[in-house]
């Protein structure tokens, strides 16, 4: 029987008085890629913030591999095995590239091939020559690679990626696609928030669409591909 990597059940989340997520429920299995899609303001980033612990849900339950994490602090959630690549990268600009990676290092028993500094540099050769450079001086694409590398250094069981292709040149987006595909091939469970629908559908196994903070669709990627009516209704593209 497949293991459930992440399960959200009846999540309601609010920013002050603004009710953003309404009774959001979805789950997906380990080793798969879930694309979390929706228009701007649909609640995708809020959903990520809720999973990582920035915005604790008002009610509902979040389970990571069966273990409840919905009321924990972000550092505890991270140590339970959630890696986070935030929107806008948010690398530590005054730290060197090496320091950005080493401060996030966490060992996890059971990882067949743990992520190390060398392995991250092998995944992103562009970072190797820049380890001593302040991270704030990197280009946007390099910062995105660093943000992914930093998340991987925690050897996550679940990787949350919020708009990893945002603001990047097409060549870098293609590289990002290859990276995510490789991580998927290695069995990494990933939640991918993307505005680039084509990229998301190419990589995903499962799709959840949010519309005004509610789950509008949850199913396999095959049910979405070619279903222009569904895409137009909830994503407003194509």
Binding site for another protein (CB under 8 A): 52-54, 73-75, 77-79, 84, 86, 90, 92-95, 99-100, 102-104, 106, 150-151, 153-154
Q: Which is nearer to another protein, 138 or 153 (CB)?
A: 153
CA 170 vs CA 7, 37, 60, 196: distances in Å: 33, 20, 39, 11
CB burial of residue 122 (10 Å; 0-12, 13-18, 19+): exposed
Q: Which is nearer to another protein, 155 or 211 (CB)?
A: 155
Backbone angles phi, psi at 34, to 5 degrees: -105, 125
Q: Which is nearer to another protein, 80 or 234 (CB)?
A: 80
Cβ contacts of 112 within 8 Å, gap of 6 or more: none
Shortest Cβ 72–another protein spacing (Å):
11
Shortest Cβ 78–another protein spacing (Å):
4
Shortest Cβ 56–another protein spacing (Å):
13
Q: Which is nearer to another protein, 103 or 174 (CB)?
A: 103
Shortest Cβ 191–another protein spacing (Å):
14
Q: Which residue in the block uniquely carries the two structure tokens 């603001």?
A: 167
Closest CA relative to residue 105, chosen from 78, 85, 74: 78
Asked if 168 and 144 count as a contact pair (C-beta separation under 8 A), the reply is: yes
The CA angle 28-33-34, to the nearest 5 degrees, is: 55
Q: Which is nearer to another protein, 147 or 231 (CB)?
A: 147
Shortest Cβ 47–another protein spacing (Å):
15
CA 138 vs CA 117, 143, 199, 204: distances in Å: 18, 6, 24, 29
């Amino acid at each position: 029987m497949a293991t459930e990597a992440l399960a959200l059940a009846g999540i309601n989340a609010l920013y002050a008085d603004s009710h953003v997520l309404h009774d959001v429920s979805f789950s997906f299995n380990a080793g798969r890629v879930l694309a979390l899609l929706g228009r701007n303001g649909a609640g995708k980033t809020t959903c990520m913030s809720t999973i990582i612990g920035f915005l604790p849900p008002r009610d509902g339950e979040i389970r990571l591999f069966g273990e409840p994490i919905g009321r924990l602090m972000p550092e505890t959630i991270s140590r339970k095995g959630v890696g986070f690549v935030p929107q806008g990268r948010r690398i530590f600009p005054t730290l060197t590239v090496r320091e950005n990676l080493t401060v996030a290092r966490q060992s996890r028993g059971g990882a067949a091939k743990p992520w190390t500094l060398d392995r991250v540099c092998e995944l992103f050769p562009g970072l190797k020559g820049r380890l001593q450079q302040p991270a704030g001086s990197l280009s946007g694409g390099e910062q995105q690679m660093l943000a992914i590398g930093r998340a991987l250094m925690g050897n996550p069981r679940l990787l949350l990626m919020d708009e990893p292709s945002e603001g990047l040149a097409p060549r870098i987006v293609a590289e990002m696609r290859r990276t995510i595909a490789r991580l998927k091939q290695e069995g990494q469970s990933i939640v991918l928030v993307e505005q680039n629908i084509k990229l998301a559908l190419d990589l995903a196994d499962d799709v959840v669409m949010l519309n005004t903070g509610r789950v509008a669709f949850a199913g396999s990627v095959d049910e979405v591909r070619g279903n222009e009516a569904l895409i137009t209704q909830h994503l407003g593209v194509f």
